[in-house]
Amino acid sequence: MATLRIVRARETDVPVIFDLIREFAEYEKLAHTVTATEERLRETLFGARPAAEVLLAYWDEECAGLAVFFPVYSTFLAQPGLYLEDLYVRASHRGQGIGMALLRHLAGIAVARGCGRLEWGVLDWNEPAIQFYEKLGAAPVRGWTKYRLSGEALGTLAATDPGGTA
């Protein structure tokens, strides 16, 4: 019988994290947007100021999936929260409860850290994921539209800051 274990990623896991990110981007039809490298992942996940944390799910000895998350803050709750950036289970391992186990583990981390909520986004077309999340009791946040500044637009806005960087 196969066993599932969830572990916090370590720096030596960067190659498998990178492979999973590329697979996830392919699944979401966004492979053309990936500019990450192993070196940048190593620095941003395990360097002096880690920007996010990673959980890895192992099915027996094979890495089957990951969850990438980071802290956020709610002024309305006056509590921290967690934002789930990526939840991915390899196609060969779907349907075995791995995604559920990763979310359960992450919910436990959120509760242990005194978080008021765990939130994430999902692509509108990803019906299997939407159905999965709604079965958990998660609800879409209606009335909100996600915005993003990146690349040139981000640099242009930053260049207009008269006070410089904090």
Active site residues: 133
Hey, is 15 helix, strand or coil? helix
Smallest Cα–Cα separation from 4: which of 55, 69, 68, 70? 55
Confirm if 86 and 99 have CB atoms less than 8 A apart: no
| Cα radius of gyration (the chain) | 17
Beta carbons within 10 angstroms of residue 24's beta carbon? 20
What does the buried/exposed string (b/e) look like for 121-134 if buried means 16 or more CB atoms within 10 Å of the residue's CB? ebeeeeeeeeebbe
Confirm if 67 and 54 have CB atoms less than 8 A apart: yes
